[in-house]
Homo-oligomer: A and B are copies of this chain.
Amino acid sequence: MSEIRKHYFLNEHCIIASERGKRPSDFKSAPAVEGQESGAGCFFCGGNESSTPPATAVYMQDMYRKGVVFADTDTERLGGWDMRCFPNLFPAVSPECVEGGDLLACGYGFHEIIVESPQHGMSLSRLDDEKMKLLMRVYRDRVMFYQSQEDIKFVSLFKNWGKKAGASLTHSHSQLVGLPLVPSVMNRELFTIKNALTCPYCDIVDTESGGERELARNGHFIAIAPYCSMTPFEIWILPLEHISHIEAFDDSMLNSLASILKEMLARLGTALSDPPYNYMFHQMLDRDYHFNLRIQPALATIAGFEKNTGIYINSVVPEQVGTFI
């Protein structure tokens, strides 16, 4: 028997239809990213810096500890980096608007690639703990850099891992898109939060703490399988405290986020044999919101029913995720 579930606080629904016949082992597939051993000709590998546009930020862990971040110049590309950020060569949006032009009509915005390791075969679930902590700082820095650009209203930070999750290159990387508008999905959440007596996400933290949908917890964060999960093995990571944006995360929080994110990716990777996945940062600067990071393994196809109704059919019961991963 299936169940139609309502989202915690939005008027959205999902269908949990576990009898559609899937067991966790059915989701194991070929690893999301194949051919990891070979980096020949990879644009994102260490040593191939000249294959990309000049880096806007180059992170070397030792120098970052001293407060130093580098950047390429037009003529010089830096090597020896741990993480490297540069404009997407095929950007969805671009800052090159005609003077005084319509920001939407000219596709104004920024589209950046964040390469998380110079090594071709690296995946985040195997990234060294210190590097994972560095990555959270890179995320904060780069998001804040683009949030400060003129007319940027929202910065989307996300990762596509594996071809099925939309990654066109196999070398592990994240992406950031700065937009001149607030997406309507965020506006709908903001409207509900504004009109609620208590923060709906704080309520989720309270409700799910210690329950069967809690997957992990540390000093600052909780990871849950949301009640109305859109995809099999969806995971939300929420700060225990009501904080809107990564801007306000201190060192201790960034380290906690690195730790719980890596744990979740590693547990998914082990249980499902390195599945393709997306993760997305949901956050708002200067607005009352509650930061959340959503991990969605790309295991099911978004088909006609979902495109017709916006209702997702999910074959894994959220209460069972914790027993499987």
Contact = CB atoms under 8 A, between A and B. Distances in A.
Contacts of A184: 10-13, 310
Interface stretch (A47-55, A103-111, A142-150): A103-111
Given A94-B1, A304-B165, A179 B309 contact: yes
Given A4-B107, A185-B309, A304 B159 contact: yes
A320 B93 CA distance: 20
Contacts of A304: 158-160, 165-166, 175, 278-280
Interface of A: 1-6, 10-13, 15-17, 19-21, 90-94, 96, 103-109, 154, 156-160, 163-167, 175, 177, 179-181, 183-187, 278-282, 294, 296, 301-305, 307-311, 313
B305 A6 contact: no
A90 B20 contact: yes
A313 B3 contact: no
State the copy count for this chain.
2
Given A175-B304, A304-B175, A183 B1 contact: no
Contact of A156 (B19, B20, B282, B309): B309
A183 B159 CA distance: 29
Given A19-B90, A166-B303, A280-B304, A309 B183 contact: yes
Given A4-B107, A166-B303, A183-B308, 18 more contacts: A1-B96, A1-B106, A2-B92, A3-B107, A4-B181, A17-B92, A20-B92, A92-B313, A158-B305, A163-B301, A165-B303, A177-B305, A177-B309, A179-B311, A280-B304, A281-B308, A296-B307, A302-B302
A158 B3 contact: no
A6 B180 CA distance: 13
Nearest to A159: B304
Contacts of A96: 1
Chain A interface SS verdict (over half): mixed
Nearest to A296: B307
A56 B281 CA distance: 46
Nearest to A230: B307
A96 B3 CA distance: 12
A268 to B, nearest CB: 15
Given A180-B4, A183-B309, A278-B307, A165 B93 contact: no
Contacts of A12: 184
Nearest to A182: B309
A183 B4 CA distance: 12
Among A2, A90, A94: residue with most chain B CB under 10 A: A2
Task: List 4 A-B pairs, minimum CB-CB distance, nearest first.
Answer: A166-B303, A158-B304, A2-B107, A280-B308
B301 A164 contact: yes
